[in-house]
Amino acid sequence: MGTAKRLPVSFLLMLLGIICLSLALHYWLSDRNAVMRALFTVQAPIARLSAKCSEGAPDWLGEMTSHGIVRLKALSTQVAFVDEQGKLSHCETGWKSTMLLSEMVDQDTRFRYGSLTKPITAAKVLDLVKEEKLTLQSALDDLFSMPEGTGSVGDVTVGQLLSHRSGIRGQIFVNNMTPVCPYALSDLISSGNVGSVGDFQYSNLGYCILGEVIAVATGRSYRSAVESSYYLSERNIGYVQYDEAVDEVERDFRFNDFYGRNLKGRFDYDAISSTAGMSGSASAYALLLRDLIKGAAPDFFYSGDCDSSVFKKCYGYAFYEYSPVSEKAYQIKEGYLPGASGVAVINENREIFVWLGNSDTDNAAAGQNMKGFLAELAKTRF
């Protein structure tokens, strides 16, 4: 009998390569996010090695960049810290677009603030209260000159909207549709309905309405009103659109099961201006907060009888109070948009910490990763 010929090693290696390439292509086409999530464990150490901090930044600030990558699942990040004396320190990780092949994130790179926009809106409302142009008890039917008997929405007050206790139902984050606010606000006030007034129910729609309250009280658009008060453009804080601006970091959708590169969120970005429409750097936001809390505190923060050890229970006019450990109480605001996340934290000394990332926090709604991140922050001197 003849001896069987062995296949050349080079052929076997080529065959193995084709099989591996075919499997990789199959998984890439069938579930790109699953592949990207798997790659995250490889990319995360590289992102951590890319970290750079300003001169004199406290060591713990650099440590929080690592916790942000690992716990909040973002490769491109910024952190900023303003101490009691008003001194700013900052750190950055990652790249503006493709890892290793694009410019690195720097102090001025803009990230999407998401709901970190809301404290800016709240600050402007509280300024108007101080100027006696409206009150926290002002009702919508009075502010918008609606006829009597307009319904339950017309009885909603400014204070209820600020603290997410208005009970107003509705959405503004609607894809390829015109939201009711601000385009049909009179219809909402006259015919809309509310749920349980006084009970906390987070409402993006409520903060859109507050944007229109600001417009009515000042006689100018929301964007113009907050610009004139806080000089946002001078701080390089702007407004987002569907695609990233040239100075914005590219968003990472790998931990989002709905949105992605082909569907980034086709919202009406003018409509969400006052609830989640801004973008800027962590440093710019921290310095803006420093200026805002000088005028707005203590109304800005929660003050009441509430168990602050429970996550997201004690909500004030802009922030919620949370105690990751018994000896520390933080004022916190989180911000999310598809492919972007952030958090601002203020401690009892009115020091400010801001983290921004270019990815959705994995399972953000459950809050476990954010709780873990805040627990790490509580271990520092902050």
Check whether 1 has a pLDDT greater than 70. Answer: no
From the centroid of its chain, how far is CA 66?
19
Left if phi > 0, otherwise alpha if psi is -120 to 50, otherwise beta: which for 328? beta
pLDDT of residue 189: 83
Model confidence at 30, pLDDT cuts 50, 70, 90, reads low
Q: How far apart are CA 96 and CA 75, in angstroms?
A: 10
- Residue labelled with tokens 């944007």: 211
Q: How far apart are CA 373 and CA 370, in angstroms?
A: 5
pLDDT of residue 150: 58
Nearest to 80 by CA among 58, 49, 97, 48: 58
For residue 187, what are its two tokens? 């219809």
Range 161-176 average pLDDT = 91
Read off the pTM: 0.91
Q: Which of 8-22, 286-300, 337-351 has the lowest mean pLDDT?
A: 8-22
Left if phi > 0, otherwise alpha if psi is -120 to 50, otherwise beta: which for 320? beta
Q: Which of 12-16, 99-103, 104-108, 176-180 has the lowest mean pLDDT?
A: 12-16
- Residue labelled with tokens 């003018």: 270
For 211, the enclosing helix (H) or strand (E) is helix 204-218
36-49 confidence digits (pLDDT tens): 899 999 999 999 99
pLDDT of residue 4: 58
43-81 confidence digits (pLDDT tens): 999 999 999 999 999 999 999 999 999 999 999 999 999
Contacts of 202 (CB under 8 A, 6+ apart): 164
For residue 169, what are its two tokens? 């139902």
For residue 15, what are its two tokens? 């065959």
The DSSP symbol for 358 reads S
pLDDT of residue 327: 87
Q: How far apart are CA 320 and CA 331, in angstroms?
A: 6
213-232 confidence digits (pLDDT tens): 999 999 999 999 999 999 99
Q: In terms of C-beta distances under 8 Å and separation of at least 24 residues, what long-range contacts does 131-139 make, across chains too?
A: 133/217, 133/218, 134/158, 134/213, 134/217, 136/162, 138/213
Three-state DSSP class for residue 327: coil
Q: What percent of the chain has pLDDT over 90?
A: 70
pLDDT of residue 217: 97
Range 120-140 average pLDDT = 94
Average pLDDT, the chain: 90
- Residue labelled with tokens 């102090």: 107
Q: Which of 148-157, 262-271, 360-369 has the lowest mean pLDDT?
A: 148-157
195-204 confidence digits (pLDDT tens): 778 888 999 9
Contacts of 327 (CB under 8 A, 6+ apart): none
Range 177-181 average pLDDT = 93
Q: What phi and psi, each to the nearest 5 degrees, are found at residue 133?
A: -90, -15
Check whether 103 has a pLDDT greater than 60. Answer: yes
- What is the DSSP track for 150-181? --GGGG-BHHHHHTT-S-B---S--TTS--HH
Three-state DSSP class for residue 307: coil
pLDDT of residue 3: 57
Q: Which of 82-86, 168-172, 298-302, 326-330 has the lowest mean pLDDT?
A: 298-302
251-305 confidence digits (pLDDT tens): 999 999 889 888 899 999 999 999 999 999 999 999 999 999 887 655 778 777 8
Q: How far apart are CA 192 and CA 162, in angstroms?
A: 19
Q: What percent of the chain has pLDDT over 70?
A: 90
Strand order across the beta sheet in which 111-112 lies: 111-112, 278-280, 238-239
pLDDT of residue 7: 59
